Structure 1
Amino acid sequence: MTKKFDVVIGNPPYQEDSETAPNRREPLYPKFMDAAFEVGEKAVLITPARFLSNSGQTKAAWNKKMLADKHLQVAYHAPDSSSLFPGTDIKGGIAVTYRDSAQEIGPIGTFLGGATTGMASVIGKVDARGEESFYKIVSSRALYRYSDLAIAERSEITDVVPKGAGNQVTPSSFIALDEVIFFDAEPSDGRDYVQVVGSSASKRTIRWLRSDYISAPDSRSRFKVLVAKANNSGAFGETLSSPFVAGPGVTHTDTFLTVGPFDSDQEAEACLAYLKTKFARALLSVLKTTQNNARSVWKLIPLQDFTSSSDIDWTKPIPEIDQQLYAKYGLDTEEIAFIEDNVKPMA
């Protein structure tokens, strides 16, 4: 068929309701971007920018495909969506992308936009050392799940765990099953129980659950640092929402992620100190452009030795640990000033 037009302009919907999770809306714009690239040599699209940091609800494989596309570039990025669309808060901002299948103008790679542009040279120095990534010790979602025994014995669980959640220890089930399978005090019925850390009324809450009712990954019996799965807005340099050390026998709902595990409390405390440094959180902020603390957003942070043999003295105050890290990675005065001026302190 002969093409009858040269330019197509449209305003398609960008999300749809999920069949498996009623409160979750699936993004549609990846489908429109793919379709536009198939039918046209050149395409300009205005979309949410979350995919640029491999975050949001778009598929990770699709995000990586876009970031590796040699024909795609970011023509404009607005970190604050309301600057383009007043009254609209789209986490991660808005991206205007341009694709030309006849030219190599990309790839985007690690996107640095807005406040993160000052981190380019820092990332280069960190990458040059070839160290392992911190994200290696960050758990993925749904680390803890209800056991098959729990599902078989307590039908109430499947009544409150959303369809498609895969028996995850969800925040909603933690609240709905209070005093059903979760208890404020450890029952004295002769069974083994573990602590489950969750959230109730927006406060960190600890309940007791039968140990055979929950999965047992390696971290369950060791020390770890728990970090909120979501916090703040994704603004550059923001603080983390009160990460803390948890000991053996402590589990958690999907409200949290596990960092670790570690063999000792001292190692876990050292890791906690690292998370509070401006250095680590500056690198985190490059990819964390929404409230979501997904495992992938920790990728630019280098993994450290948290034992007593470390080249960093983790017993020092956080500002002094930062100075050690700046020296270790050879940051110059301008790079240090950028981090110090733009990242909020944590005690």
Structure 2
Amino acid sequence: MSMTATSRRHIPDILDCLAQLSNDEVPTPPKFANQMLDLLPDEVWSDPNLKWLDPFVKSGVFLREVATRLLSGLAEWEPDFEKRRDHIFRNMLYGTSITEMTGLLARRSLYYSRDASGETSVVKFASPDGNVPFVPAKHAFKKERCVICGAPEDLERGDSRENHAYSFIHGAYPTEELKDMKFDVIVGNPPFQIDDGGHNASATPIYQHFVEAAIDMDPRYVLMITPSRWFAGGKGLDKYRDRMLNDRHMQNLVDYPKLYDGFPGVKIRGGVSYFLWSRDYDGPCSIQTMWDGKPVGEPVARYLNAYDVLVRRNEAVSILEKVRAKNEPTLNNRVSSAKPFGLRTFFHGAPKPDGMAEPVKLYGSQRVSWVERASIPQNDAWVDNWKVLMTRVQGTSSAVETQFLGKPIVAAPKSASTESYVVAGRFDGFAEAEWYAAYLRTRFARFLVSLRKSTQDAARGVYSFIPDLPMDRQWTDEKLYERYGLNAEEIAFIESQVREMPANGEAVEE
């Protein structure tokens, strides 16, 4: 084969070919890693004194791409390529792998050899690990849970198997010999979650621990990618969200709301985002939305703590501001909490009310059954109201959610529900209940839900931006757009995000 033919042939990057190894081992595509690195200021690539750290190495892509940029950026500082490379690899780049296997991958990516002390390593270290060791760590269990990361005790399976006790957040890394080193730039893709042993393969987010540990080291810059669920929801993320929203060192945030857009083939509900935290910056954060890998509009600088959640789309801010300008109460005060009648999801009554002294129709998971009124644990008075029930879990398996709420159920008196539903409203008569259900079907109301709903969970909190209007008429989208003075562009944006929900018939599941 000729040299010309060889040069024209595409040779793929091996790191583009790595698949997801587990829920916590999602390798970052090289192109995506470079888009993240583009957020850093140009001067970092020509400063030979900086110390770079990836404290949760998977494939080694971040350190490899940083090395490539430094080899070019430091050419004027040190023209001799071998001396320049030796300085960069030996004195500037550090990391620790999350498993022994990812350590081998990372050293192969960075040093061209899994043995950094071997003859094939581009820089020969005294240790096979080079500057990228795997450092074992232990969980700190108390009452069957790790007090640091929340892992269940059964994850501790001895020294021969992975225990998911990551060294960076469990006090094992930086190691003793690095304890006095000041890292200037911390970059990477932390583990996202850890199985917590609950029902339905539940998982606990852990990425927030890595972000906080990195910021607490007070480097010049922190550059990381995480799931975006923290914007509005997520188990155990309330304190983290409050910290991040109020941190004026957040300089840039790039958001990928579409499923699979950031990590092709990896289902991360709510999407992913990466951010640049800058120690010496104090001001609004520049927010950019990406869709199909391309920017949507221009980035907008705004303060993240304008609301108790992060409104992720810049186009939504003006709409929300017009709604909130009227200072109206919201549906958060009307919608019930979880388990409105004290009955769990898996509870079902009898298929028929035969023989019951005071039968109550029970709306449950995928079926309707009947129970004795006396057996309902709480909120007995609600049984006699007209009620609008909304499914507690409303999600989508498609790449883009466009419904956000399930179809409202108008439940007559002598009815109740399990925790599969929330009681979205209670009324004395049918007309009010029907008008309220129609209100929740509007694109306007469901758009406001979308600003707070980052997962399948549609609990009471997702209704907190919807105004609690008087149910003395049927509210339509047209009336609501007029009431809040929305312009044509804002209306078009709402209708591009939320599909119409028909008044009759079953809502189409996504």
> Is this a same-fold pair by TM over 0.5?
yes
Which amino acid in the other structure matches residue 298 of structure 1?
Y
SS of the equivalent of 1:288 reads coil
Q: How far, CA to CA, are the matches of 1:73 and 1:58 in structure 2?
A: 24
The residue number in structure 1 matching 2:351 is: 184
Q: CA deviation at 1:18?
A: 2.2
The residue number in structure 2 matching 1:199 is: 365
The residue number in structure 2 matching 1:170 is: 344
The residue number in structure 2 matching 1:254 is: 419
The residue number in structure 2 matching 1:49 is: 228
Instruction: Check 1:21–1:327 CA distance in 2 against 1; reply closer, same or farther (3 A cut).
Output: same
Q: CA deviation at 1:81?
A: 4.2
SS of the equivalent of 2:416 reads strand
Q: CA deviation at 1:26?
A: 0.7
Greater C-alpha radius of gyration: 2
Instruction: Check 1:56–1:129 CA distance in 2 against 1; reply closer, same or farther (3 A cut).
Output: same
The residue number in structure 2 matching 1:305 is: 470
Instruction: Check 1:230–1:31 CA distance in 2 against 1; reply closer, same or farther (3 A cut).
Output: same
* Aligned partner (choices 345, 358, 371) of residue 209 of structure 1: 371
Aligned residue runs from structure 1 range 219-230, under 5 A:
219-230=382-393
1:338 aligns with 2:338: no
Gaps of 5+ in 2: 1-178, 285-302, 503-510
Which amino acid in the other structure matches residue 329 of structure 1?
Y
Q: How far, CA to CA, are the matches of 1:34 and 1:239 in structure 2?
A: 31
Instruction: Check 1:329–1:15 CA distance in 2 against 1; reply closer, same or farther (3 A cut).
Output: same
Q: How far, CA to CA, are the matches of 1:102 and 1:15 in structure 2?
A: 30
The residue number in structure 2 matching 1:98 is: 276
Q: CA deviation at 1:252?
A: 1.1
1:63 aligns with 2:241: yes
The residue number in structure 2 matching 1:37 is: 215
Q: How far, CA to CA, are the matches of 1:123 and 1:304 in structure 2?
A: 16
Q: CA deviation at 1:187?
A: 3.6
Q: How far, CA to CA, are the matches of 1:293 and 1:140 in structure 2?
A: 11
Query: What is the alpha-carbon root mean square deviation over aligned residues?
Result: 2.4
Q: How far, CA to CA, are the matches of 1:104 and 1:8 in structure 2?
A: 19
Gaps of 5+ in 1: 146-168, 175-181
Q: CA deviation at 1:121?
A: 1.3
The residue number in structure 2 matching 1:179 is: none
Q: CA deviation at 1:259?
A: 0.6
* Aligned partner (choices 433, 449, 453) of residue 284 of structure 1: 449
Query: What CA deviation, in whole Å up to 9, does each residue of 1:22-55 have, x standing for no partner?
Result: 7311111121122122113332221100111x21
SS of the equivalent of 1:289 reads coil
Q: CA deviation at 1:185?
A: 0.7
SS of the equivalent of 1:83 reads coil
Give the share of equivalent positions with the same residue, in percent.
31
Q: How far, CA to CA, are the matches of 1:69 and 1:136 in structure 2?
A: 29
Q: How far, CA to CA, are the matches of 2:440 and 2:200 in structure 1?
A: 34
Query: What CA deviation, in whole Å up to 9, does each residue of 1:56-100 have, x standing for no partner?
Result: 323334323322333335521111242221101111100112223
The residue number in structure 1 matching 2:80 is: none
The residue number in structure 1 matching 2:479 is: 324
Which amino acid in the other structure matches residue 183 of structure 1?
A
Q: How far, CA to CA, are the matches of 2:500 and 2:189 in structure 1?
A: 42
1:273 aligns with 2:451: no
Instruction: Check 1:101–1:142 CA distance in 2 against 1; reply closer, same or farther (3 A cut).
Output: farther
Q: How far, CA to CA, are the matches of 1:74 and 1:187 in structure 2?
A: 63
Q: How far, CA to CA, are the matches of 1:80 and 1:221 in structure 2?
A: 43
Q: CA deviation at 1:186?
A: 1.1
1:131 aligns with 2:298: no
CA contact (8 A) 1:51 1:58 kept: no
Q: How far, CA to CA, are the matches of 2:403 and 2:363 in structure 1?
A: 24
SS of the equivalent of 1:58 reads coil
Which amino acid in the other structure matches residue 282 of structure 1?
F
